[in-house]
Structure 1
Amino acid sequence: MISALFLISQKGEVVLNRFYRDDVSRRAADNFRLQVIAAKETGTLPPVKVIDGCSFLYTRHENLYLVAVSRANINAALVFQFLYQLNIIFKEYFGKKYNEDTIRDNFTLVYELLDETMDHGYPQNCSSDVLKLFINLGSSLATPENPGGAPPSQLTSQITGAIDWRREGIRYKRNEVYLDVFESVNLLMSSTGTVLRNEVAGQVVMKTLLTGMPECKLGLNDKLTMQKGDGPAAKVAGQKRGSREVEIDDCTFHRCVRLGKFDADRTITFIPPDGEFELMKYRVTENINLPFKIMPAYQEQGTTRLSVTLKLASLFSPRLFATNVVIKIPTPPNTARAKINVPIGRAKHEPENHAIVWRIRKFQGKLERMLDAEVEMMKGTKEKLWSRPPLQIEFQVPMFTSSGLHVRFLKVFEKSSYPTTKWVRYVTRAGQYQLRI
């Protein structure tokens, strides 16, 4: 597997290295500097580079390269998963913006983490919850004399147990669960109004502050759940006749989810990690509720004037509001000035972006507003054909999902039967929401 790990600065200096096998030398870092870092200054390179029979797989964070080197025919997906997980571990130990100086100041701790996460080139323990039991910023491996560390029996059960993502003995005065459903809407529409691409990329993020080892059950209104003829999920679905069924194209779960249980009755059953984690990712491509409808119109008036009108209509409930709405309306590069009229928000021509930018802080549902603009263009000696880039919109709509997905139930079971406060939030954002003009 992996022969060596390097942490290399953007200047090509080796900040820290760990060798797991003797088939790679320090010279490999020089090869990486010369053929990857230097080449990146002039263009882009793939994340895998083979140099002198060595495979270099790397990711970048701030001013650091995390580089794995191997002479074997390794599983690239596994190596990248390890590098991404290592990056997450470093973030949890040193902060989200750790850099070269942070690694140098904590090199002893970094070596401990590298030794625990990998054994002879094979990834081993990459769970930050387990690592924090016996490796922290103020102490090394826990011992019975070290009151700051976890007891050895707890360490053993945590590392070798089936639930290594959650430690035992967690206690909270107030037990709470926060569940967020985030969706990004991607749309590409032609100038004639034909939808060329339309999908929703969603994620379910949870933050659990729960005592003990609770079991959670989550039910969604996905199509397979609602059409199931037996089991507890079907009983709940039957109580909500008329609920819209959402057909999820594909989804991935956190490793805490019991996939066998999900296959049996379509309920998401799991013992959650402590704190915040991503429970689920999903994608929907059918029956998408678009939050906005945009109707632009361009009318050329000779060679130096252009009339632009844009109708913006919100399609969600009038009880909801979109926030931070930004519409970027392309203009020709030779635009000199633009006279703009808008009934809401602020709009101005931004020459650096070659666009009229209309910003609206708050936009109510089931509302229509119109922008009118008169654009004056400079007449040049060499006129170039305008490429007409697509119109773009950014927005955020709280308590709305374009896919129609919603949480039907969220239950928490624990042997002490303590009360739990649950919070559910929905947020839909613009991904690549574009309209060709």
Structure 2
Amino acid sequence: MAIDGIIILDNTGRPIIQSGFRSKSPAYSLLHIDALNNELQKHSNPSRIDPVLYVPPFQSTDTASACCHVSHSDVYILCPVSGDVDPLVAFAFIQTFIDILREYFGSVSAEVIKENFDVVYQLFEETLDAGGHPLTTYSNALRDIVTPPSLLNKLLASVAGPNIHSTLNAAPGTGPFSSPIPWRKTGVRHVNNEIYFDMVEELRGIVNKCEPLCPSFCAWGVLEA
């Protein structure tokens, strides 16, 4: 089993957009939305809510599931999972999807998602396959499939269809997935064979929400080009 889908809510708990839960009943996504909204009503401080919520089955023939959720800016991002799935997989996917949205739109908010509803839904379809496994998460590969929003692209799409941009720029060997390296575009050439890295050290800890002290720490470096 893997990730069942992804749901984005505004800060009032109302759904903005969700992926297609093809293998689940229509009530499946509503159960997870209600589970989070019920917890939001119980707690005055949303940070006190457990990041993984138990969601009971809708029918006796269904199985129980879990709702992994993250609050970012003024939206809540939910990843329903069922079966034997590590919740860290869902949280890693949520963080990756947030990074993708930030690269596409510059910021992540309810207003931005509503204004770019069609692009966000296309990103749903490309980043998560039908089996619930993360598919294409590299921005270079995604930009060849889902064109970043711009005024010109919106005008072209409204006149000639959503694929007009890729059709005009199509060239032999430059289509989606044409690069053998997923994070690198095809045809990239540099005059100097040099590369520079900035090493950034971060210190992160695992903290119990009820304890002021951190029982364990881990530190690692982050490479920023």
TM-score (norm 1): 0.39
Superposition deviation, residue 66 in structure 1: 1.0
| Separation in 2, partners of 1:48, 1:125 | 25
SS at match of 2:84: coil
**How far apart in 1 are the matches of 2:134 and 2:202?**
33
Give the whole-Å Cα distance in 1 for the aligned partners of 2:222 and 2:115: 36
Q: Give 1:116 shift.
A: 0.5
1:69 is matched with which residue?
80
Q: Within 5 A, what are the aligned runs for 1:276-355? A: none
Is residue 110 of structure 1 aligned with residue 128 of structure 2? no
Aligned to 2:7: 6
Q: CA deviation at 1:153?
A: 5.1
1:6 and 1:29 in contact (8 A); partners too: no
Task: Give the equivalent residue in structure 2 for 1:90.
Answer: 101
Contact 1:143 1:151 in 2 (8 A): no
Is 1:119 aligned to 2:129, yes or no? yes
Could you tell me which of 192, 195, 214 is aligned with 1:177? 195
SS in 2 for 1:19: coil
The 2-side partners of 1:69 and 1:184 are apart by 30
Contact 1:142–1:150 (8 Å) recurs in 2: no
**Cα distance between partner residues in 1 of 2:49 and 2:24:** 28
Q: What's the counterpart of residue 146 of structure 1?
A: 168
- Structure 2 CA distance for partners of 1:12 and 1:62, relative to 1, 3 Å: same
- Identify the residue that residue 24 of structure 2 maps to in structure 1: 22
Tell me, in whole angstroms, the C-alpha distance in 2 between the residues paired with 1:200 and 1:92: 27
**Which residue of structure 2 aligns with residue 37 of structure 1?**
40
User: 5+ unaligned residues in a row in structure 2: which ranges?
Assistant: 57-63, 205-214
The answer to whether the 8 Å contact 2:68/2:91 transfers is yes
CA RMSD of aligned residues (A): 2.9
| TM superposition shift of 1:154 | 3.8
Question: 8 Å contact 1:31–1:51 — kept in the other structure?
Answer: no
Query: What runs of 5+ residues in structure 1 fail to find an aligned partner?
Result: 187-196, 208-437
Give the structure 2 partner of residue 416 of structure 1. Answer: none
- CA gap 1:206/1:10 in 2 versus in 1, 3 angstroms: closer
Cα distance change of structure 1 residues 144 and 110 upon mapping to structure 2, 3 Å threshold = closer
Distance 1:127 1:87, change over 3 A: same
SS at match of 2:177: helix
Q: What is the correspondence of 1:253-292 to structure 2 with a 5 Å cutoff?
A: none
Selected match of 1:80 from 88, 91, 103 = 91
State the 1:16 CA deviation.
0.6
Q: Indicate how the Cα distance of structure 1 residues 107 and 154 shifts in structure 2: closer, same or farther if over 3 A, else same.
A: same
For each residue in 1:131-187, what CA deviation from the matched residue of structure 2 results, as whole angstroms up to 9, or x when unmatched? Answer: 01221223645777322x5656542323xx3x211111124566653322233579x
The alpha-carbon deviation at position 78 of structure 1 amounts to 1.6
1:54 aligns to 2:65 (yes or no): yes
AA at the equivalent of 2:41: A
Equivalent residue number for residue 155 of structure 1:
176
The structure-2 alpha-carbon separation of the partners of 1:66 and 1:144, relative to structure 1 and needing over 3 Å to count, comes to closer
Q: Is the 8 A contact 1:8 1:16 kept in 2?
A: yes
The percentage of counterpart residues that share the same residue type is: 21
The answer to whether the Cα contact below 8 Å between 1:49 and 1:56 also exists between their aligned partners in 2 is yes
Would you say the 8 A contact 1:144–1:152 is kept in 2? no
Matched residue of 1:201: which SS?
strand
Distance 1:144 1:13, change over 3 A: closer
> Helix, strand or coil for the counterpart of 2:168?
coil
- Whole-Å separation in 1 of the counterparts to 2:32 and 2:117: 18
CA distance in 2: counterparts of 1:27 and 1:144, whole angstroms: 36
Name the CA distance, whole Å, in 1 between partners of 2:71 and 2:133: 21
Could you say if the C-alpha distance between residues 18 and 46 of structure 1 is closer, same or farther in structure 2, counting changes exceeding 3 Å?
A: same
- Whether the aligned pair in 1 keeps the contact of 2:141 and 2:177 (CA below 8 Å) is no
| AA matched with 2:39 | V
CA drift at 1:109: 0.4
**Contact 1:135/1:141, CA 8 A, preserved across alignment:** no
Would the alpha carbon gap of residues 141 and 128 (structure 1) be closer, same or farther in structure 2, given more than 3 Å must change?
A: farther
2:52·2:66 contact (CA, 8 Å) conserved in 1? yes
**Larger Rg: 1 or 2?**
1
Aligned residues, how many?
A: 191
Are the structure 2 counterparts of residues 62 and 5 from structure 1 closer, same or farther at C-alpha, using a change threshold of 3 Å?
Answer: same
Higher strand share: 1
Going from structure 1 to structure 2, the CA distance change for 1:144 and 1:64 (only over 3 Å counts) comes to closer
Shift of 1:14: 0.3
